[in-house]
Amino acid sequence: MSDSPTDTVFRFYVVGYLDVQGQTSAIERLDRLLCSRASEEELEAASERTVGVIKGLRRDSQDLMQHFEGGEVNNRAYKALPPETKRKFRELKYGGDVSFQYFSDTILICAPLAVRPDELRVQDVHRVLLAAASLMLMSPTYGVVLRGGLELGWATPLTDGKLQDGGTDIYGPAVMKAYRLESRTADYPRVVIGDGLRRFLLSIHSKADNRTVEARLAKVSSQSCMNLIAEDPADGRHILDYLGQGMQGVSHDRGVQAIVKVGHEFIKNEHQRLSAVDDKLAAKYSRLLEYYSSHLHSWELTNDMRD
């Protein structure tokens, strides 16, 4: 789709919109300290809880994503491929264009589904899901949680080429759809999967043939994506299952288990703290704590960590 007066080209993108929760109150406190005669120690601590958190998440989440990308694909469709096809699969897997955009405490992850008419990069959808999952895993280690949405839609780059940080600045309905899932649907710290994204993955998985390496790659990638999606038993919404089997299948060291343990401890402590001061927020953390607690055994974490 093209608008000839401006040469605006719209493509289909998968977009993840994630927002760091609780930063408003932390920023307001930092503002009060900056406007008063606060000590250097107080300012340093407040800065670490705001600026430090955002910087750390940007850095460490991408490192964790690369860790997961380095893992072997763990699903039946991939295991059934012949060795030469697996080699070609690895060559094609990381040739895409996944980008991160940052605005204040909001993180946008995106990738075009295709840049050529004959191309459909389902593997980049999987990479966007991995990136969002990495952020969800890392955030509690910084004392925060995230809420988000993932969806497909039209978008266009606003700049030619890459931004200074390597990302691509995009704008369009895809961003709006992901934002609406985050702001109107997610409700508590989780990432809601849009209906369009889920239908797309189901369609690729059911229709992809095995006549070409690219077709096999699309089928394997769609299965890897579906392995990262689960139904929230509380309301039936499809969510990013960042503690489920799909993440365990690409995790290849005990470091990720330690991250899960730290995350569970933080969420449990926050739930206990909030229960005494804010019933509404405590209820949201209760749902998040339930999600973590239901996955502890899968990460070989002991039952004595449960409430």
Same domain, 109 and 208: yes
Instruction: Give the end of a domain, one of 220, 242, 264.
Output: 242
Asked if residue 247 is part of any domain, the answer here is no
> Which of 58-67, 111-120, 151-160 is the most confident on average?
151-160
The CATH number of residue 230's host domain is 3.30.70.1230
Pairwise CA distance, residues 246 & 136, whole Å: 14
Give phi and psi for 264, each to the nearest 5.
Answer: -65, -45
pLDDT band, residue 156 (cuts 50/70/90): very high
What local confidence, expressed as pLDDT, does residue 58 receive? 83
Identify the pLDDT of residue 176: 98
Domain count, the chain: 2
Q: Among 219, 242, 265, where does a domain finish? A: 242
Query: pLDDT class for 216, splitting at 50, 70, 90?
Result: confident
Is the model's pLDDT at 166 over the cut of 70? no
Indicate the residue among 242, 263, 287 that finishes a domain: 242
The Cα–Cα gap between 246 and 226 comes to 8
Q: Are residues 158 and 207 in the same domain?
A: yes
Assess whether pLDDT exceeds 60 at residue 92.
no
pLDDT digits (tens, 9 = 90+) for 247-287: 887 776 678 899 999 999 999 999 999 999 999 999 999 99
Q: Supply the pLDDT for residue 199.
A: 96
> Which pLDDT value is given to residue 2?
45
Residue 7 pLDDT > 80, yes or no? no
Please tell me the distance from the alpha carbon of residue 155 to that of residue 109, in angstroms, as a whole number: 13
For residue 4, is it within any domain? no
Q: What's the pLDDT score for residue 129?
A: 95
> Are 153 and 289 contained in the same domain?
no
- Which region among 18-22, 141-145, 207-211 has the lowest average model confidence (pLDDT)? 207-211
* Residue 281 to residue 275: CA distance in whole angstroms: 8
User: For residue range 73-90, what is the model confidence (pLDDT) as tens digits?
Assistant: 555 555 666 676 666 656
Distance CA 7, CA 116 (A): 17
Q: What percent of the chain has pLDDT over 90?
A: 57
pTM metric for this prediction: 0.87
Strands (E) across the chain are located at 2-3, 8-9, 11-20, 99-103, 106-112, 146-157, 170-171, 191-193, 229-231, 238-240
Same-domain status, 15 and 139? yes
Contacts 24+ apart (CB under 8 A), 112-115: 112/11, 112/12, 112/13, 113/11, 113/12, 113/13, 113/14, 113/152, 114/11, 114/12, 115/11
Q: Give the pLDDT confidence score for residue 208 in this predicted structure.
A: 60
Q: Please give the single-letter amino acid code of residue 138.
A: M
